[in-house]
Amino acid sequence: MRRLLSALLLAAAALVALPPGTASAGTVADYPEFPYPATAYDEPYRGQFHFSPRAGWMNDPNGMVYYRGTYHLFFQHNPHGLAWDTMHWGHATSTDMVHWTQRPIALEPGVHPGDLWSGNGVVDTANVTGLKSGDDDPILVFSGTNGVTVHYSTDGARTFQTFDRGRKVAVPSGTSRDPHVFWHAASNRWVMVVWNDGGGNGATFYTSPNLLDWTYASRFAAGWFFECPDMFPLAVDGTGTVKWVLADASGEYVIGAFDGTTFRPDWSAPQRMDLGTNTADGTFYAGQTFTGVPDGRVVQMSWQPGNHGSTWTGDQTFPAELALKTFPEGVRLTRTPIREISTLRSGGQAYSNRSVSPGGPLAVATADTYEVTAEFDVAGATASSFGLRLHTRADGTYDRAVGYDRAAATLYGRPLAPVNGRVRMRVLVDRGQLEVFGNDGRLSVSDNVNFNSAGTSQGIQAYAEGGAVNLVSLQFYRLGRAWGTGESTLDGNLAGPWSAVGGAWTDTAGGKQATATGDAFYLSNTTAGDFTYEGDVKVVSGTAAALTFRASADGTQHYTANVDTGGVVKLWRPGKEIAVAATPIVAGRYYHLKVVAAGSRIRVYLDHGANPVIDATDTAYTSGRLGLNVFHGTAILANPTLNGTGLRTNLAGPWHPAGGSWTVPGAGLRGNSGTDAFALSATTAADLTYEGDVRVVNGVAAALTFRASADGTQHYTANVDTGGLVKLWRPGQDIAVFATPILEGRTYHLKVVARGPGIAVYLNGTKVIDASDGTYASGYLGVNAFNGTATFQNLNLSP
C-alpha cells in the first residue's frame, strides 16, 4: 500500500512545475561512492600534512573559496578507482588551509549535468546572481568543457544545484575548458578567463555584471599557454606597482597589465613558477589560488600527480603564498609555504656557524615528517657541493639529497644564484612528498619521493662533499599530522580526531557504520566526567549498538550503554554487567539512547522516556572519552551529542500537543506517533517565513506546520517524507509534492514562505515547491510528525 502510494506521489511529483533554473541538488542517496573505506591516513607514502583523498583518484584543485570562516577545496575526483575516469568534484574543508576534512562529493555526474571538469569558484556576497534564498551567500563554481556551466550552493557549500539545467553561459571557440572567474575592482565587473584552442592555444576573456550573463571581451593568444588558467594581481615587492599574473597548468606565467578587458603581457616568453615536473604525470600541475582569503594573500595549491598509495592517487602541494619580487634578472613570482605551517610544528632545534665537511657531517635530528631551513656560506666554501640528506640510515644510505652544486650554481639540480655569497634552502619532507624552496621562494621545486619512514631510516644530515662549508644557520621543526579534526558524516558535537579500536568503520548517509565480530569502539577526542550524552543507534544486523563513555583511548576501560537485539538495554564495563533492562529491541530501527552520568550514579534513558530504564551505581571510572560501540554485527550510530541545549526557537511557549507523544530532549523537540501528531507553539502568524531543521529518526515524515487551529484539525504542513519527497499539504489535500531522496537519520533544513495564498517551500536552501492555496489565512506555528519518530531544532519565524 505504501509502495503504491509512493509511486502515485512520485508520478504526481513529475507534474509539479518548478521555477526555471531550479534543479535538484541531489542528496546523499544520489552519491553511491560515499562511503569510502575508513582510513587512518597512515598508509605508506600517505602525506601527513599534504591533502589527498580518502580513497580514489584526485587531480586538479578546483573551486577554492573562503566563505565565512571556512576554506573550501574541491578537486577533480574519480571515487571509483585509482585512475582518471568519470570526473566528480570531491570536497574538503578547513579553517586554516592546513587541516582538511573531506566532505561528501560536491558535484556528481548524473546529478549535475555537463563534464564536471576543472574550474574555480567565487562567493556572491552582493547577491548579484539573485540566487540567494536563505542566510547564506550563493557560492558559484564554474565547470564544463567546450562551454562553461555554473553550479551553485545556497547552503554554504553543503549541496550544489546546477544553474539553468547546465546551459552553457560562455562558449569559446575550438576545444575549451577550465574557466577561472575573478572580481576586477577597477572596472567593477566579474571576469572569466578560459583556455581554448580556436585559432591556436590561448585564453579567452569574458566579463559579467552578475556572474551568469557573460560577454566576450578579448583573446590572449600564446602557443605555450595550455589548460587551467589562473589569474590574479600582485603588488611587486609588496608595495610597488600592481602586476597581473596569468598562469597555465604547467605553472608557466607572464606578468602584465589588465584593464578588465584586455591582458597586455610585459614579457614575450613565460617563466616557470615551479621547477618540478610540470606535467599531468609529473609533480606539479594545474595549480589554482583561493578566492577571498580574508587578509588578501594569494595562496596556491597544486596537484602532485606522482604520489599514490594502496587506496588513493594524487595529493595537493602544501599551500604556498605567492608574491612578486624584484631580482637582478627581473621581477619573478615566489612561492612560500603559508605561515599557518606553524600549527604543525613541534620539537624545534637550531644550529649556527657549524663547519660541515666530508668527515664531519652534522646530525640534525631524527624525524619522519619535518621542515628544515638552512643557510650556507657559498662564497667561503671549499666544498664542491653541500646540503641536506633526508631519511638517512646507519649504513650511510639515504633516500634523497637536496644539495647545492657550487660550480653549476644549482640547488637540487635547478639554477639558483647565491645572494650576498649565501644560499638558503628550505625543505618540507612528508611521507611521499618533498618540497624544496631556494632563497625564500625564488626557487620552488615540488617533488614526489617515496620516503622510507621506518624508525631506522629517519636521520637528517647536513653534509658537504669535496671540501668544507660553513652552515651559517639551520632551523629544524617536526611537522605533525594535519588529519583528523573532524568527521565527514557523523553529525554531532564531539571533537575529533576520532579513532577506531577494532571493527571496520565506514561513513554512510545515516551515520557512522561499523561491522565487528566482537566489540569495536569509535572514540572521540572529547573527554567528560559528569554529563548528559545521547545519540541515535541502530542495529542493522547482529547484536548490539551503543554509546560509550568515560573510556580510555585504547578502549580497554569504558562504560557502554547499548540496545541489544536479545531484548535488553544494558549498561556494562569490561568484566561487569552493571545493569540490564528487558525491553524489545529490533534490528533495522533507530533507538535514542541517553546517558546521564553524575559521579557514581549512571542513568540510561531509552527513546526519551521520562524515567530511566537503568539507574545504577558504579565507581570504576570517573571520566574519559565519549564514543560509540558496536558488538557482534553491523550497526549505525548517529548524532552523538554532549550536553545538548534543548530546543532553540523564537516561537513563544507554552507548546501543546495535538496527538502523539512529545518531549524536549537534549537535541531539540521530538515527536513520536503512529499517525499524524502536532506540537503547536503559542505564536500565530498570517504572512510568514518559517524555517527549521527537521529529521525523520525512523518512520515516514517530519514537518513544519503553520496557520494551524489550536486543535490541529486545520493547518498547512510542509514535510520531508522518507518515501522520497517534500510535500505541502492540508487536511484532505496534497497541495504539491517534489520528488527527492529523503533519508532516515539525516537533518534537512525546511523553510516555508507564505504570502497570502502564495506558499513556497525550500529544501536545504533551494525552492522546491511554489504553490497557491487560499484555505487558511492565519494560525499557530508548530511541527508535525507522521508515522514514526521525528526531531526538530532551530525553529524560527521571521516576518
CB of 702 to ligand FRU, least distance (A): 39
Of 177, 389, 406, 550, which lies in the binding site for ligand FRU, with binding defined by CB under 6 A? Answer: 177
Cell representation of residue 742: 529523503
Rounded CA separation 465/780 (Å) = 84
> At its nearest, how many Å lie between ligand FRU and the CB of residue 32?
20
Tell me whether strands 499-501 and 385-392 are parallel, antiparallel or unpaired: unpaired
Least distance (Å) from ligand FRU to the CB of residue 77? 9
Asked if residue 193 binds ligand FRU (CB under 6 A), the reply is no
Max distance between CA atoms of the chain, in angstroms, equals: 94
DSSP state of 777: -
Residue with cell 564495563: 573
CA 591 to chain centre: 29
For ligand FRU, give the closer residue by CB, 73 or 753: 73
User: Smallest distance, Å, CB 218 to ligand FRU?
Assistant: 21
List 24, 39, 48, 118, residue binding ligand FRU (CB under 6 A): 118
Position 199: which residue type? Answer: G
Q: Hey, CA dihedral for 378, 381, 384, 390, is it positive or negative?
A: negative
**Closest to ligand FRU by CB, 53 or 712:** 53
DSSP state of 382: -
Nearer to ligand FRU, 285 or 398 (CB): 285
Q: Assess 178 for contact with ligand FRU (CB under 6 A).
A: yes
How many other CB atoms sit within 10 Å of the CB of residue 264? 12
Shortest reach from residue 178's CB to ligand FRU, in Å: 5
- Taking CB under 6 A as the binding criterion, the range among 280-288, 352-360, 576-584, 676-684 that sits at the site for ligand FRU is 280-288
| Least distance from ligand FRU to the Cβ atom of residue 116, Å | 8
CB-nearer residue toward ligand FRU: 195 or 590 = 195
311 class by beta-carbon count within 10 Å (0-12 exposed, 13-18 middle, 19+ buried): middle
Q: How far is the CB of 288 from ligand FRU (least distance, A)?
A: 11
Contact residue for ligand FRU among 16, 73, 87, 365 (CB under 6 A): 87
Query: CA 343 to CA 250: how far, in whole Å?
Result: 30
Residue of 246, 249, 460, 647 that binds ligand FRU (CB under 6 A): 249
Q: How far is the CB of 452 from ligand FRU (least distance, A)?
A: 30
Among residues 734, 735, 737, 730, which one has the least CA distance to residue 763?
737
**Least distance CB 227 / ligand FRU (angstroms):** 4
Determine, following the binding rule CB under 6 A, whether residue 203 of this chain makes contact with ligand FRU.
no
Residue labelled with grid coordinates 600534512: 49
Nearer to ligand FRU, 197 or 465 (CB): 197
Q: Which of 286, 516, 593, 651 binds ligand FRU (CB under 6 A)?
A: 286
Distance CA 332, CA 327 (A): 7
Q: Does 288 bind ligand FRU (CB under 6 A)?
A: no
Which residue number, 179 or 624, has a Cβ lying nearer to ligand FRU?
179
Cα 399 → chain centroid: 33
Q: Is 483 in the site for ligand FRU (CB under 6 A)?
A: no
3-class SS of residue 260: coil
In the beta sheet, which residues pair with residue 691?
A: 751, 796
Stretch that binds ligand FRU, among 196-204, 279-287, 613-621, 697-705 (CB under 6 A): 279-287
For ligand FRU, the closer CB: 281 or 395:
281
Measured CA to CA, the distance from residue 785 to residue 696 in angstroms comes to: 8
CA distances from 479 to 93, 302, 364, 585, 673 (A): 20, 20, 15, 48, 54
Write down the least CB distance from residue 84 to ligand FRU, Å: 6
Question: According to CB under 6 A, which residues from 635 to 674 bind ligand FRU?
Answer: none
Does residue 181 interact with ligand FRU by CB under 6 A? no
Q: How far is the CB of 265 from ligand FRU (least distance, A)?
A: 22
Q: Which is nearer to ligand FRU, 118 or 277 (CB)?
A: 118
Strand stretches in 480-530, DSSP E: 499-501, 504-508, 511-528
- Identify whether 60 is a catalytic site residue: yes
C-alpha–C-alpha distance, residues 41 and 52, integer Å: 9
- Helix H or strand E segment including 693: strand 688-708
Distance CA 105, CA 108 (A): 7
For residue 252, what is its C-alpha cell?
608557466
DSSP annotation of 592 reads: E
Among 55, 106, 228, 614, binds ligand FRU (CB under 6 A): 228
Separation of alpha carbons 255 and 243, rounded Å: 6
Between 203 and 703, CB nearer to ligand FRU: 203
Identify the three-state secondary structure at position 442. coil
Select the residue interacting with ligand FRU from 108, 124, 137, 227 (CB under 6 A). Answer: 227
DSSP state of 455: G
**194 touches ligand FRU by CB under 6 A:** no
Least Å from the CB of residue 249 to ligand FRU: 5
Query: What residues between 42 and 61 interact with ligand FRU by CB under 6 A?
Result: 59-60
In contact, 48 and 90? CB cutoff 8 Å? no
Q: Report in angstroms how near the CB of residue 760 gets to ligand FRU at its nearest.
A: 36
768: its cell numbers:
522546491
* Contact flag: residue 76 with ligand FRU (CB under 6 A): yes
Output 179 or 459, the one with its CB closest to ligand FRU: 179
Identity of the residue, 280 or 620, whose beta carbon is nearer to ligand FRU in the bound complex: 280
Q: Does 770 bind ligand FRU (CB under 6 A)?
A: no
In a 13 Å sphere around the CA of 395, the CA atoms on its Cβ side amount to 4
DSSP 8-state code for residue 513: E
Judge contact between 161 and 766, C-beta under 8 A.
yes
Within 509-538, the residues that bind ligand FRU by CB under 6 A are: none
Stretch that binds ligand FRU, among 121-129, 278-286, 360-368, 774-782 (CB under 6 A): 278-286
DSSP tag of 339: G
Q: Rule CB under 6 A: is residue 252 a binding residue for ligand FRU? A: no
Pairing verdict, β 320-327 and 312-316: unpaired
Using the minimum distance from each CB to ligand FRU, give the nearer residue, 119 or 510: 119
Q: How far apart are CA 28 and CA 509, in angstroms?
A: 6
For ligand FRU, the closer CB: 76 or 793: 76
In the three-class reduction of DSSP (H, G, I as helix; E, B as strand; rest coil), residue 3 is classed as helix
* The one catalytic residue among 30, 42, 60, 295: 60
| 141 near ligand FRU, judged by CB under 6 A | no
Residues facing 532 on adjacent strands: 596
251's CB contacts (< 8 A; 6+ apart) are: 272, 273, 274, 278, 284, 285, 287, 302
Binder to ligand FRU among 117, 244, 549, 621 (CB under 6 A)? 117
Closest CA to 380 of 500, 460, 466, 471: 471
Total residues contacting ligand FRU by CB under 6 A comes to: 14
Active site residues: 60
- Residues in contact with ligand FRU by CB under 6 A are 59-60, 76, 87, 117-118, 177-178, 227-228, 249, 280, 285-286
